[in-house]
A and B are shown apart, each in its own frame.
Chain A
């Protein structure tokens, strides 16, 4: 459950000082370090875990013995496991992610070229999501409070649930069918000449399900917050509807909304894998798919590592934002 209220939080009876911020930031950094370490270990063991001889499968079915030997040397398979791990970590520390077989280029170059596309897509989609979902959810929550406007409530509930249940790549296909094939107003895939316009459909495909999910949460939380005693207190102080909504309701919605947005943003990185494929969007998602398909293991390792670190960074950013918005998060040990 993502909802937490004042009553089920541990009550730390201490006044905020510098120390709580420092320990909060340290805890979050520790969490980030853990995620990065596990990601480094996991990406390293991809190659040794591949059944059979990774060099044979990477070199392809038509490879000669020489080619296989060269791939084996490039993957470092001729060295002991521990030395390879040290090499891998040492390379990472110098920003060396290895060398891509299929593109014959440093993995770091490939990643740097593709990263802006995925970042633009994910953050663009997130902005759209928050700009639409929060006002929508609050409005529906306020309009349907206390069992009012039943029809609006169930129409909203069913529509959002159905749309959110559509997998992103299916939604992407439907969007192509509608906007590119039938209406012919938007390009069906990435075109180098107009990157902005061609980003519209993938961003929509990524954001629509999340809009529905977050709007549902905001609607439910609005209903809960409107019933809270502190809102009655604010009404008793006669502060007016707008001031009450913005100062007393919104901050208490943000905790759960932000928590969920972090999860959704991380999920968008996953969704990008399939959506980028539909639109041939040259980001990291399509990159990792191509790398796996061509058994370009160093490229797989590099992109997966970058995506994992990105998702950890986003989780940490959201945590820190939460700490700013909701001081109780800083006090608790499990945040």
Chain B
């Protein structure tokens, strides 16, 4: 059996999952125990209680008693024993149907990918089509062809289940075929059989295991449903569906008859469900990832008692930050008392590696800290708006606008650009749709978008990264914010595209008096663009430099020096960062 393994944060370097190393979880254990125990009990019952389940006796239609836990039927047969023996029949038939459909489905699915292209595409179409019919309908058709009876039922349900498994196997082997490591293996001449056994099957194991659980549970339900409606197991044979159907006509006079088969069907299908869910959870780290327990976070930064620090001289800068601390829910500080100002029309750069607290500082200023993080400060002001107190949405929108790192994910994929970009103007400025559209068209022209109407008609996925980032800037400018926060706006872009975005930020500084907070881990870019630079490390500002100091290398802190030396310098072309 697979051992219990901790899923410590070990991201596998190779995509090959290790077969046999199953991550057990509560649902998986509960489901397995439930099914195994039930399986053992009904097997023992089938061996020892056959006489009371099937032999006729004079005790007909008895109520529940110590001798007959669920009473007896009209032929004096013990209903508890019948339910257990019927469950054994259902279990065996479901297992048989699962075995048949999985074997055939996986064979068909993988064979499709070894077939020539034409055959493969035709076969895939056929599989797609067969999957689209309701499975129970297919089973009914097969039952019509094969006739009623145990084995006919197993074959009918197994055949009905094959398309789903075949499609899964075909999709899996298809996607694995196209992955890099298989291509590499093929190019380096790994033989076909080794390719299938070493690369294909191990990577398919987990989803196929989940499919086994699904096939078992749908098979169980489909077979008992067919028996229930009278198209499956025929009297004198019986399974759970047959027993339930037999009990139904007397549901008013003897409702206890439905208890046995109902309970056992529930136990078996819930067991199968738990195993399926457990396997899926074990395979998908997103599902079983335990999020940290966090109390509801307040989005408003807290006023910090500044008794220990003397009140600094009144500053006229539009952005004023004093003693900013960002804490996790458990109290661990991530940013330790950061203070700075940003002047009108100034670009302040903040550099530092990931985890240095530069993004958290920015998110505190925009009041967009992630769940569970709280900010406190003795002063946090943007253009007269006190971010420590209550503010309206409108005030916030006027004060701060953000440009984010990855323009590929910052726009809503389901909406056209036009309706997203004009949102701020319509909501906060009360503009009509057409006015907003005209304003945003002008702003898009300002950021050098060639055909603004066309961009507004597009959905985000139809645009390039550079176009999306320019649109993001236009949206940010639409609010005419006092503070523009650019959080690594060029990191996800090509060098030439990035250079264009940086020129836009320079233009905004020169043409408006917007204060800009520019966050980057790239000193080369910061050196070109910013008027002043803060260097952050582990949540504190280690050094503050003017652009000239940075360019001439006049740095004192060893960390800054290290960052500076890590910038590759081939040429000093202005404007083209990094």
Residue numbers in A under 8 Å from B316 (CB-CB):
none
Dominant SS at the B interface?
Answer: helix
Residue of A with least CB distance to B289: A147
A51 near B146 (CB under 8 angstroms)?
yes
Complex Cα–Cα for A252 and B296 (A): 25
A293 to B397, CA, bound (A): 69
A289 at the interface (CB under 8 A from B): yes
Shortest distance between the CB of A83 and any CB in chain B (Å): 21
Interfacial chain A residues near B216, Cβ < 8 Å: none
Residue with the greatest number of chain A CB neighbours at <10 A, chosen from B136, B229, B230, B231: B229
In A220-234, the 8 Å CB interface with B consists of 220, 228-230, 232-234
Chain B hits for A177, CB < 8 A:
251, 255, 258
Indicate the member of A145, A232, A270 with the most B CB atoms within 10 Å.
Answer: A270
* Stretch touching chain B among A87-95, A103-111, A238-246: A238-246
Shortest CB distance A169–B (Å): 5
Report if B562 contacts A (CB, 8 A).
no
Give the A-B pair count, Cβ closer than 8 A: 228
Q: Does A127 contact B (CB under 8 A)?
A: no
Residues of A close to B371: CB separation below 8 A = 145-146, 148
Interface residues of A in 294-335 (CB under 8 A from B): 295, 297, 300, 304, 307-308, 311-312, 315, 325-328, 331
| Cβ-defined partner of A46 (8 Å) among B125, B135, B145 | B145
Chain A contact surface mostly: helix
Q: Taking the complex as formed, is A25 at the interface, i.e. its CB lies under 8 A from any CB of chain B?
A: no
Knowing A46-B141, A165-B273, the reply to whether A307 touches B134 (Cβ < 8 A) is: yes
Docked Cα-Cα span, A255 to B415, in Å, equals: 13
Which of B141, B412, B464 is A234 in contact with, Cβ under 8 Å?
B412
Cβ contact within 8 Å between B397 and A11: no
Shortest distance between the CB of B474 and any CB in chain A (Å): 13
Please determine whether B461 and A35 come into contact, CB atoms closer than 8 angstroms.
no
**Which size bracket describes the interface of B in this complex?**
35 or more
Q: Which of B266, B274, B366, B396 contacts A166 (CB 8 A)?
A: B266
User: Which B residues are in CB contact (< 8 Å) with A300?
Assistant: 141, 144
A50 CB-CB contact with B under 8 Å: yes
A261-316, CB < 8 A from B = 266-267, 269-271, 273-274, 277-278, 288-289, 291-293, 295, 297, 300, 304, 307-308, 311-312, 315
- Bound-state Cα–Cα, A9 to B409, Å: 12
Inter-chain contact B290/A147, CB cutoff 8 Å: yes
Taking the nearest CB of chain A, how far is it from the CB of B391, in angstroms? Answer: 9
By the criterion CB–CB under 8 Å, are A164 and B262 in contact? Answer: no
Indicate whether A192 reaches chain B with its CB closer than 8 angstroms. Answer: no
Complex: A69 Cα to B247 Cα, angstroms: 40
* Cβ–Cβ contact B410 & A277, under 8 A: no
Knowing A162-B270, A238-B397, A252-B414, the reply to whether A278 touches B248 (Cβ < 8 A) is yes
Mark out the residues of chain B between 119 and 139 whose CB falls within 8 Å of any chain A CB in the assembled complex: 125-126, 128-130, 132-137
A29 at the B interface (CB under 8 A):
no
Contact A230 B412, beta carbon cutoff 8 Å: yes
Q: Does A188 contact B (CB under 8 A)?
A: yes
Residues B225 and A273 in contact, CB atoms below 8 Å apart: yes
157-198 of chain A: CB within 8 A of chain B:
161-162, 164-170, 173-174, 176-177, 181, 188
* Cβ of A53 to closest chain B Cβ, rounded Å: 13
| Complex Cα–Cα for A38 and B125 (A) | 11
How many Å lie between the Cα of A108 and that of B276 in the bound state? Answer: 42
Pairs A–B under 8 Å by Cβ, sample size 30 = A5-B413, A6-B409, A6-B460, A16-B457, A16-B459, A34-B129, A164-B273, A165-B266, A165-B270, A165-B273, A166-B266, A170-B265, A173-B248, A181-B252, A232-B404, A234-B423, A235-B368, A236-B400, A237-B475, A239-B393, A251-B415, A254-B414, A266-B132, A273-B229, A277-B228, A289-B230, A292-B143, A304-B141, A311-B134, A315-B132
| Beyond known contacts A46-B141, A238-B397, A311-B132: 13 more, CB 8 A cutoff | A6-B408, A13-B462, A147-B291, A148-B371, A167-B221, A237-B423, A247-B412, A273-B229, A277-B229, A292-B140, A295-B144, A304-B140, A311-B134
Ranked 9 nearest A-B pairs via Cβ? A147-B291, A270-B134, A270-B136, A251-B414, A165-B273, A146-B371, A238-B393, A229-B409, A6-B413
